[in-house]
Amino acid sequence: MAYSEKVIDHYQHPRNVGTLDPKDANVGTGLVGAPECGDVMRLQLKINPETGVIEDAKFKTFGCGSAIASSSFATEMIKGKTVDEAYAIKNTTIVQELNLPPVKIHCSVLAEDAIKAAIEDFKKKQATVPVESMA
């Protein structure tokens, strides 16, 4: 498979690989899988609860080169964005930026799903945060 230069770059030097503390109330974790190929991706966001700005993003992807590149690129793109901006990101942006061929579109869908799942997890956590720590 001929990968674009950008994919190879992200694949060989993935940005933001790692883990954030999943128990931190300001960290949202999204764990998603691709039902056809069985690849998995975990994406974590550290979000400032006051401003809604994404301060940090980390991922771990066990999957194909496009999935790794998509998640690496996604973490780079969403740092500094607000939760709402990040939630609105479509996989088509990733496809265009990385020049993914049609058979690899589902790999970028995985990244979009992971962002959404992480944000939803963060929101759920915030809704249940004990009152004292909100002060």
Partner 1 sequence: MDHYLTFGIDRTFGIDRERLEKRFYQLQSSSHPDRHVRAESERREQALAESSDINEAYRTLREPIPRAKHLLELYGFSVADQKSVPPGLLMTVMEAQEKIAEFEAATDRETKQEAMSELVAITEGLETQRKAIDEERDRLARTWDIAMHPTDPAQLSDREKEELGRIAQLISERAYLETLRISVTAARQGKPAFIQH
Min dist. Cβ of residue 70 to partner 1 (A): 14
C-alpha closest to that of 71 among 126, 121, 33: 33
User: What b/e sequence results for 83-100 when a residue is b if at least 16 CB atoms lie within 10 Å of its CB, and e otherwise?
Assistant: beebbebebebbbebbeb
Residue 3 or 122 having the CB closest to ligand FES: 3
Stretch of residues binding partner 1 (CB under 8 A), selected from 58-66, 74-82, 86-94, 119-127 = 58-66
From 3-11, 14-22, 44-52, 61-69, give the range in contact with ligand FES by CB under 6 A: 61-69
Q: Binding residue for partner 1 (CB under 8 A) from 106, 108, 111, 112?
A: 106
Complex with partner 1: residue 74 or 81, whichever CB lies closer: 74
* Burial state string for 31-54 with b = 16 or more CB within 10 A and e = fewer than 16: bbbbeeeebbbbbbbbbeeeeebb
Q: Is 88 in the site for ligand FES (CB under 6 A)?
A: no
How far apart CA 47 and CA 28 sit, in angstroms, is 8
Tell me: does residue 34 bind ligand FES (CB under 6 A): yes
Binding site for ligand FES (CB under 6 A): 34, 37, 39, 63-64, 66-67, 104, 107, 110
